[in-house]
Amino acid sequence: MSAPTAAPQPTTETDDTNVHVPNRRNVELGLLILALIIGMFAYANVDLAVLGELPANFLAVGAIFTLLLGGAHVAVRYLAPYADPFLLPAAALLNMLGLAMIRRLDLAEQQRAERAEIKAPSPDVIPQVTWTALALVLFVVILFVVHDHRRLQKYTYTCMVLGVLLLLSPLIPGLGTTVNGANLWIRLGPLSFQPSELAKILLTIFFAGYLVITRDSLALVRRKFLGLGIPRGRDLGPILVAWGVSMAVLVFQRDLGTALMFFGLFVVLLYVATQRRSWLVIGGGLFVIGAVLGYFAFGHVRLRVQVWLDTWTYANDQGYQIAQSLFGLANGGLLGTGLGQGYPQFVPFAKTDFITAALGEELGVTGFMAILTIYGIMIERGLRTAIAVRDPFGKLLAVGFATVIGLQLFVVIGGVTRLIPLTGLTTPFLSYGGSALVANWMMIAFLMRISDRARSPLPDGTVDASGRLS
């Protein structure tokens, strides 16, 4: 008689990363400490290089970030113990590097004002620290309030209505305001806000919920052309509506970046939901049509393309920004000039649209690639979360948030390096701006909630509706 088989022992390992669940939070804590050290070193190095002394608020900023990141870690440990351990440290490191560069540009503005004997502008690093604190508070609130991401599916069409209203709100007379030629902002007293940043979260939830319901009909194929399945004519409506809304954003708000991001997001989610390559071909065709129409119909689009194709002809006027960006990147070389030792202040809007060019000059190609690697880790972990979760809504939601971050990064870096025409989007977590920072941290919170739900075991070893098994 054979020996009895030993009963299977419970295991704490539920992730394909071979990180035990009790240790996952310790890995996160270690990475957060490393991010804090790197971020504060960068912040201190800026003042040491420019002024020869530590920042006057160095200890205060260090204490604030220690409390904020420590509080976020404790919240994750208790509210989402099975969540991905890399997302929070990656976002924290990018956020702190952005703060260091904003501080660097603040010092350059102060020195310029002293030489011109005029009043120095208010530093932007303090408001950015305040927005970071608010963003991390909302990060914890989302983890506390949203216990199960699947409940968001009930608000699919509510999110659609709110998202569209937010997109259109800058067009309301007396509420919207124009900044650098684009109607993207609403102003309430002394505060201004970019509603499209919150709209991208709401519309991602809507796209995910809508495609879960309609994916079967959208995946139907009646005929093929050149090996591609062609969907039914009546099923082309959703992508045509998304294309039309994107064109409307381009026309009325003069925002090429947001139009590209929303349409690209919908096409990616449509492909993931249906697994039909034909949707990518149709989406690409509509993008080409929209690009051609935009070029011939709108002067601002045509100007951006012309500056992209022949930057040096326009280097003294419309192309000055991208020309200065390329000069800065070239000056940085392989290893960079060093934090505080370059000339990033010569690039217009270096704190927002072109903060990656500023970092590329002072950190060099090596530092630039390191920053891109951190973004790559963040996007990869978001897509890994989509693979781990079993329910279709959670899968599309995770892919959607990872795609939003990836698309923003592509159009920003592509514009700064002259790979594609400039679009005007901000770099996630790095750029100055409260609305974008808050929205990006909220997306990280949702991704961590989905990853926790995907990997957390059930007490009785049964499988729930999302396919989780203890």
Q: What is the pLDDT of residue 462?
A: 47
pLDDT at 61 over 50: yes
| Contact predicate 287/275, CB 8 Å | no
pLDDT at 365 over 80: yes
66 alpha carbon, distance to own chain's centre: 23
SS3 176: strand
Place of tokens 């113990």: 81
In angstroms, rounded to a whole number, what is the distance separating the alpha carbons of residues 64 and 96? 12
Predicted confidence (pLDDT) per residue in 271-300, tens digit = 898 888 887 888 888 888 888 888 888 787
In angstroms, rounded to a whole number, what is the distance separating the alpha carbons of residues 468 and 470? 7
Lowest mean pLDDT segment, chosen from 181-190, 201-210, 301-310: 181-190
Q: What is the mean pLDDT of the chain?
A: 84
In angstroms, rounded to a whole number, what is the distance separating the alpha carbons of residues 255 and 258? 6
At 12, is the pLDDT very low, low, confident or very high (cuts 50, 70, 90)?
very low
| Contact predicate 21/14, CB 8 Å | yes
Lowest mean pLDDT segment, chosen from 89-93, 125-129, 167-171: 167-171
Q: What is the pLDDT of residue 109?
A: 92
pLDDT at 13 over 50: no
Q: What is the pLDDT of residue 15?
A: 44
pLDDT at 226 over 70: no
Q: What is the pLDDT of residue 17?
A: 42
| Contact predicate 383/451, CB 8 Å | no
Which residues are bridge partners to 193 per DSSP?
186
SS3 225: strand
Q: What is the pLDDT of residue 8?
A: 40
At 353, is the pLDDT very low, low, confident or very high (cuts 50, 70, 90)?
confident
User: Which one is predicted more confidently, 220 or 365?
Assistant: 365
Predicted confidence (pLDDT) per residue in 378-393, tens digit = 999 999 999 999 899 9
Q: What is the pLDDT of residue 424?
A: 72
Q: What is the pLDDT of residue 241?
A: 75
Q: Where are the domains of the chain?
A: 141-455
At 32, is the pLDDT very low, low, confident or very high (cuts 50, 70, 90)?
very high
Q: Is 439 exposed, middle or buried (0-12, 13-18, 19+ CB in 10 A)?
A: buried
Predicted confidence (pLDDT) per residue in 155-204, tens digit = 988 988 888 888 888 777 767 676 665 666 677 766 777 888 898 999 99
At 30, is the pLDDT very low, low, confident or very high (cuts 50, 70, 90)?
very high
Q: Find the mean pLDDT for residues 444-452.
A: 96
CA–CA distance from 51 to each of 97, 113, 119, 400 (Å)?
Answer: 19, 15, 19, 44
Predicted confidence (pLDDT) per residue in 141-154, tens digit = 999 999 999 999 99
